[in-house]
Amino acid sequence: MTGIETKCVQSGYKPGNGEPRQLPIYQSTTFKYDTSSDMGKLFDLESDGYMYSRLANPTCDFVAKKIADLEGGTAAMLTSSGQAANFFAVFNIAEAGDHIVSSATIYGGTFNLFSVTMKKMGIDFTFVSPDCTEEELNRAFRPNTKAVFGETIANPVLTVLDIEKFAKAAHAHGVPLIVDNTFATPINCRPFEWGADIVTHSTSKYMDGHASAIGGCIVDSGKFDWTKYPDKFPGLCTPDESYHGVTYTEKFGIEGAFITKCVAQLMRDFGSNQQAQIAYLLNIGLESLHLRVKRHCDSALKVAKFLEENENIAWVNYPGLESNKYYETASKYLPNGSCGVISFGVKGGRKAAEEFMGKLKIANIETHVADSHTCCLHPASSTHRQLSDEQLVDAGVSADLVRLSIGLEDPKDIIEDLKQALL
C-alpha cells in the first residue's frame, strides 16, 4: 500500500472480521481493567493500552496513525487545535532558558504564541526571513538553541520554505527542524522527504476540509537521533522522575520517544488531546483529502491567472504563478500544486477592497481558510482594522490586500463572481 490516495482511504483503522466498516467513536473518558496490576503496567508504560482520554483515546490514535502514514512518519498524536500542536511540538524539547530559531513568516497565531506567550515562559525566539542566506541562518543559532521552526507554505503571506536549507542548518547545530505543513498537506509536500524531523498540522484546515472541526496533529519522522545530543535533550535522554524513571529514548527508541513523551507527560499535565468525535470527523475529511486538495489547487491556479490579467487588480501573490518569487522553490517542493489560498491587491486601496468584498456573492467573508466553501478576508477592515496604513505595511499586510481561499465550487462560477465584483 504505497499510493497516497490509498493511504487517505485505508490507513489507520482496519476493521477485523464482522467489525464496523467506519471508524468507531470511542466515546469514553476511561477504560476498564480486570486487575490493578493490569492497570499498573499501563501507568509504568510497560504495556500498550488506554487509561484516560485526557492522554490518549483509540479513535484519535487510529486517525493519528493515518496521518503518520501520509507523512511517512513513525509516530503521531492528535491535539485539540493547531495552536496546541505547535505549542507541544516545541515545548516537548524546550524549556525556560532555551532558544528557538523560527522563520519570521508564520501564521499570526503561532507568531503570538512564540513571541508573547512562550517568551513569558522563558523561551526565546529569533525570527529569520525564510529567504535568508545560509550564513544569516547559521548566525541565528545559540548554544541553547533546541529547534528550528517554519511553515511549508506560510499562512497568509504564502512564502515557500526552502526545507533543505533549514534542515541543513538545524542538523549542523544538532537540533531538529519542525515544519508546520498545514497549507501544503502531505498530498502536495512531505517535509520528511526533504530532511524535516517533526511535522505539525492544524487539521482544522484542508485535512478536516469542511470547516467543521478544530484540531491539530504532531508527527515524528523517527529520524532525529536525540541520543547523539543527550545534554541538549535531557527530557528525552534521561529518566523522567514524574513517570517512574522511564528514559523515553531507551524504552521507545528514536522512532517513538518524542511522541510517547509528549503524550505521557504533556497531555497528562496540560490535557489538550483531541476529542474522539472530532477525530471521527477529521478521518472522514482525510478519506477525500487527495481529491479535494487537487481540486482546490487546480481552481486556485485558474483564479490566480484570471486575477493577474484583470485591470482592476494591482498585484497577485500565488506560488503557482510563474511570475511569483517562490515559483522555483514551489516547483521543487510542491510539484503537484501548492494550496488553494491566493492573496491580491485591489486597485484603489482600502476603500476599493472593501467595496469589492461587499459585492461578492459566492465568496463568503470569513476568517477561516482551506475548506470547501470559497471565502475571503480583507484584513485592513477586519482582523487588522485598528492599524494605520503604515502599520499595516510593517505587519506585511497592505491596505489593499484581500485573502481569498478557493473552495470546491465550479471555478467558472468563482471567476464570474470575482468579475462582477471588480466592475
Ligand X SMILES: *Cc1c(COP(=O)(O)O)cnc(C)c1O
The Cα 210–Cα 219 span in angstroms is: 22
Contacting residue, 71, 98, 151, 197, with ligand X by CB under 6 A = 151
Contacting residue, 214, 219, 236, 375, with ligand X by CB under 6 A = 214
CB 289 within 8 Å of CB 206: yes
Which residues are CB-contacts of 32 (< 8 A; sequence separation ≥ 6)? none
| 202 touches ligand X by CB under 6 A | yes
| 79 touches ligand X by CB under 6 A | no
| 348 touches ligand X by CB under 6 A | no
- Three-state SS string across the chain, please? CCCHHHHHHHCCCCCCCCCCCCCCCCCCCECCCCCHHHHHHHHCCCCCCCCECCCCCHHHHHHHHHHHHHHCCCEEEEECCHHHHHHHHHHCCCCCCCEEEEECCCCHHHHHHHHHHHHHCCCEEEEECCCCCHHHHHHCCCCCEEEEEEECECCCCCCECCHHHHHHHHHHCCCCEEEECCCCHHHHCCHHHHCCCEEEEECCCCCCCCCCCCCEEEEECCCCCHHHCCCCCHHHHCCEHHHCCECHHHHHHHHHHHHHHHHHHHHHHHCCCCCHHHHHHHHHHHHCHHHHHHHHHHHHHHHHHHHHHCCCEEEEECCCCCCCCCHHHHHHHCCCCCCCEEEEEECCHHHHHHHHHHHCCCCEECCCCCCCCCEEECHHHCCCCCCCHHHHHHCCCCCCEEEEECCCCCHHHHHHHHHHHHC
| 197 touches ligand X by CB under 6 A | no
* Beta carbon of residue 276, minimum distance to ligand X (angstroms, whole number): 17
Question: Of the two residues 83 and 374, which places its CB atom closer to ligand X in the complex?
Answer: 83
Contacting residue, 26, 87, 107, 356, with ligand X by CB under 6 A = 107
Question: Of the two residues 155 and 249, which places its CB atom closer to ligand X in the complex?
Answer: 155
Question: Of the two residues 204 and 265, which places its CB atom closer to ligand X in the complex?
Answer: 204
Name the closest residue to ligand X (Cβ).
Answer: 82
Question: Of the two residues 83 and 249, which places its CB atom closer to ligand X in the complex?
Answer: 83
CA-wise closest residue to 374 among 345, 336, 412 = 412
How many CB atoms are located within 10 Å of the residue 232 CB? 21
Q: Which window, 87-95, 180-188, 227-235, 409-417, contacts ligand X (CB under 6 A)?
A: 180-188
| 110 touches ligand X by CB under 6 A | yes
Question: Of the two residues 303 and 339, which places its CB atom closer to ligand X in the complex?
Answer: 339
| 209 touches ligand X by CB under 6 A | no
CB 176 within 8 Å of CB 197: yes
* Beta carbon of residue 110, minimum distance to ligand X (angstroms, whole number): 5
Question: Of the two residues 249 and 343, which places its CB atom closer to ligand X in the complex?
Answer: 343
| 83 touches ligand X by CB under 6 A | yes
| 155 touches ligand X by CB under 6 A | yes
Which residues are CB-contacts of 352 (< 8 A; sequence separation ≥ 6)? 312, 346, 400
| 205 touches ligand X by CB under 6 A | yes
| 343 touches ligand X by CB under 6 A | no
Question: Of the two residues 88 and 252, which places its CB atom closer to ligand X in the complex?
Answer: 88
Contacting residue, 11, 81, 185, 265, with ligand X by CB under 6 A = 81
| 102 touches ligand X by CB under 6 A | no
| 87 touches ligand X by CB under 6 A | no
| 317 touches ligand X by CB under 6 A | no
| 265 touches ligand X by CB under 6 A | no
Q: Which window, 51-59, 102-110, 252-260, 316-324, contacts ligand X (CB under 6 A)?
A: 102-110
Question: Of the two residues 207 and 422, which places its CB atom closer to ligand X in the complex?
Answer: 207
The Cα 397–Cα 402 span in angstroms is: 9
| 216 touches ligand X by CB under 6 A | yes
* Beta carbon of residue 79, minimum distance to ligand X (angstroms, whole number): 9
Question: Of the two residues 114 and 252, which places its CB atom closer to ligand X in the complex?
Answer: 114
| 180 touches ligand X by CB under 6 A | yes
Question: Of the two residues 66 and 173, which places its CB atom closer to ligand X in the complex?
Answer: 66
Residues that bind ligand X (CB under 6 A): 81-83, 86, 107, 109-110, 151, 155, 180, 182-183, 202, 204-205, 214, 216
